[in-house]
Copies of this chain bind each other. A is one copy, B any other.
Amino acid sequence: MCQVCFGVDVGGTTVKLGLVTQDGELLEKQEFVSAHDVGEMFDNIAAHMKEVMGHFSDYQCVGAGVGVPGPVVEERLVHGCANLGWGDVDVAGELGRRTGLPVKVANDANLAAMGEAWRGGGMGYRSMVLVTLGTGVGGGIILDGKCLRGAHRAGGEIGHIPVNPRETRPCNCGGHGCLEQYASATGCARLAREALAASTEPSALRALPDPDARAVWDAANAGDALALKIADEYCTYLARGLAVVTSTVDPEAIVLGGGVSRAGKLLLDMTRERYRPLAFPACKNTPIVLATLSNDAGIYGAMATLLAEK
């Protein structure tokens, strides 16, 4: 009987839920709006799981992995998720009670890294670092198939590597000059605002009231000279962060995910060009590749986490 598991990615806006085989096949996926109430949230998740399992009665479900956007203790509890308005919640208990399944809980960025390492952009590498370029900059470090969580659950907090000692504006974390201030989608939009204000150079971006990261990269991909300068500045900061990661952890590969990574080949090419001169000699050729699982990374990561525990 083929073994399957549920991957559940709990976000502030939606919950993504999928059933994955141990060979990495995603059998079915559902997405639904997040409930505000904790009890209602887990009632909904359990109901969706039951519905999906009804379609696959020939399979044996061995458990569920749940990703949450907050600090996780002992693979069970989450200590406060600002995005969800949660205090301390026993995620494994809540969902286990409702489904009768063993449940493992992990930080969502770590789960995404496990997924990309298992069946995504990091497939085939024994060690890799996922850097997610989204609203913020997150990360996950996978060494020998396991996630480096860190002593204070700050392992892989790539977004808060200081990359600009001269920055005076504070980061959300309270620091100054963190990678997230430049390499997040928000940071990219700010670099664009500053570049537009600093010159009168013509650019397609001037037609937009407040260009976001996507607009910047679309314009750069279309050859807009000012957008290319903004993209280059973005990649310079990102490359500083990556050089730090490879000099410290020295993974087999770096995987770029998150919304900004949809910029694709141009992002990769510019980042690699900026990365090489900054990198330690042994790490100059460390592959920098794109994530491939997009929003499904956490679903795959849940199965990868359950398999890694065996």
- Using a CB–CB distance below 8 Å, which chain A residues touch chain B? 71, 126-127, 141, 143, 148-158, 160-165, 173-176, 240, 243-252, 277-283, 286
Q: A173-B280, A280-B175, A281-B173 are in contact. Are A250 and B151 (CB under 8 A)?
A: yes
Could you say which residues of chain B place their CB within 8 Å of the CB of A162?
240, 243-244, 247, 278
Is the Cβ of A127 less than 8 Å from the Cβ of B154? no
Cα A197 to Cα B28 with chains together (Å): 69
Is the Cβ of B248 less than 8 Å from the Cβ of A248? yes
Is the Cβ of A154 less than 8 Å from the Cβ of B280? yes
Could you say which residues of chain B place their CB within 8 Å of the CB of A278?
162, 175-176
Chain B nearest CB from A174 CB (Å) reads 6
Count copies of this chain in the complex.
2
Could you say which residues of chain B place their CB within 8 Å of the CB of A283?
152, 154
Is the Cβ of B243 less than 8 Å from the Cβ of A151? no
Main secondary structure of the interface of A (DSSP, over half): loop
Q: A175-B277, A244-B244, A248-B248 are in contact. Are A148 and B158 (CB under 8 A)?
A: no
Q: Which 9 residue pairs spanning A and B have beta carbons closest together?
A: A150-B250, A152-B282, A154-B250, A151-B252, A154-B282, A160-B280, A155-B250, A157-B247, A160-B247
Cβ contacts A to B, 20 pairs, < 8 Å? A126-B151, A148-B250, A149-B250, A151-B286, A152-B250, A154-B280, A155-B248, A155-B250, A157-B280, A157-B282, A158-B247, A160-B280, A161-B243, A163-B165, A165-B165, A173-B280, A173-B281, A175-B280, A176-B278, A244-B244
